[in-house]
Amino acid sequence: MVRAEDLNIYFKTTPRIELLRPYADPANMALLITGADGRPVKQGVVDIRLDAPEPGRFFSTDFPFVEGTPLSEMRMELRQGRANWKYLFPIRGEYRLAVVATTADGRKGSKDFKFYIRENQKKWFALTGFSIGLFLLGLMAGRVFTGAKSAVIALFAVALLVGSSRAAEPPRVEETENAGLEIGAATVGTPTAVRWFLKNAEIASKSNALLTLTITHLEKEKIAFEVERIPVGNEFSMTFQFTDGAEYRVVALAEVPGKPPLRSEKVIGVTAIEPPAKASVPALAYFVGLIALGLGIGRWTKRRAIVP
Residue 153 above 60 pLDDT?
no
Q: What is the pLDDT of residue 209?
A: 87
The pair phi, psi for residue 73, each rounded to 5°, is -150, 130
Residue 123 above 70 pLDDT?
no
Q: SS3 of 157, please?
A: helix
Contact, 149 vs 249, CB < 8 A? no
186-196 pLDDT, tens digit each: 999 999 999 99
- Angle 245-212-75 from CA coordinates, rounded to 5°: 80
Q: What is the pLDDT of residue 117?
A: 94
29-51 pLDDT, tens digit each: 999 999 988 999 989 999 999 99
For the ranges 50-54, 86-90, 146-150, 200-204, the lowest mean pLDDT is seen at 146-150
Kindly list the distances between the CA atom of residue 281 and the CA atoms of 213, 284, 288, 289, in Å, as whole numbers in the listed order.
40, 5, 10, 12
Residue 71 above 60 pLDDT?
yes
Mean pLDDT score of the chain = 80
Q: What is the pLDDT of residue 167?
A: 44
Which of 105-109, 141-145, 301-305 tops mean pLDDT?
A: 105-109
Residue 305 above 50 pLDDT?
yes
**Residue-by-residue DSSP string for 25-91:** S-EEEEEEEEETTSPBPSSEEEEEEEEPPPPPSSS--S-GGGTTSEEEEEEEE-BTTEEEEEE---S
Fold of 172-269: Immunoglobulin-like (2.60.40)
Q: What percent of the chain has pLDDT over 70?
A: 65
User: Which one-letter DSSP state was computed for residue 234?
Assistant: T
* pLDDT level of residue 166 (50, 70, 90 thresholds): very low
User: Listing from the earlier edge strand, what are the strands of the sheet with 44-51?
Assistant: 108-117, 93-103, 44-51, 70-77, 235-240, 192-198, 179-183
Contact, 244 vs 63, CB < 8 A? yes
* pLDDT level of residue 151 (50, 70, 90 thresholds): very low
Q: What is the pLDDT of residue 284?
A: 62
For the chain, the domains span: 4-119, 122-160+278-306, 172-269
Counts of helices then strands in the chain (DSSP H, E): 4, 15
The pLDDT of 88-103, averaged and rounded, is 95
Contacts of 9 (CB under 8 A, 6+ apart): 31, 32, 33, 99, 101, 109, 110, 111
To the nearest 10 degrees (0 to 180), the angle between helices 277-306 and 148-158 is: 150
Fold of 4-119: Immunoglobulin-like (2.60.40)
73-95 pLDDT, tens digit each: 999 999 999 999 999 999 999 99
Residue 280 above 50 pLDDT?
yes
* pLDDT level of residue 273 (50, 70, 90 thresholds): confident
Query: Would you say the C-alpha torsion 37, 38, 42, 45 has a positive or negative sign?
Result: positive
Using alpha carbons, select from 52, 87, 51 the residue that is nearest to residue 67: 52
Q: What percent of the chain has pLDDT over 90?
A: 52
For the ranges 7-16, 122-131, 168-177, 284-293, the lowest mean pLDDT is seen at 168-177
211-234 pLDDT, tens digit each: 999 999 999 999 999 999 999 988
Residue 135: in which H helix or E strand, if any? helix 121-144
Domain pair 4-119 / 172-269, same fold:
yes
Query: Would you say the C-alpha torsion 80, 94, 63, 136 has a positive or negative sign?
Result: negative
- CB-based burial label for 277 (10 Å; 0-12, 13-18, 19+): exposed
For residue 13, what are the β-bridge partners? 29
Q: What is the pLDDT of residue 170?
A: 47
Q: What is the pLDDT of residue 154?
A: 45
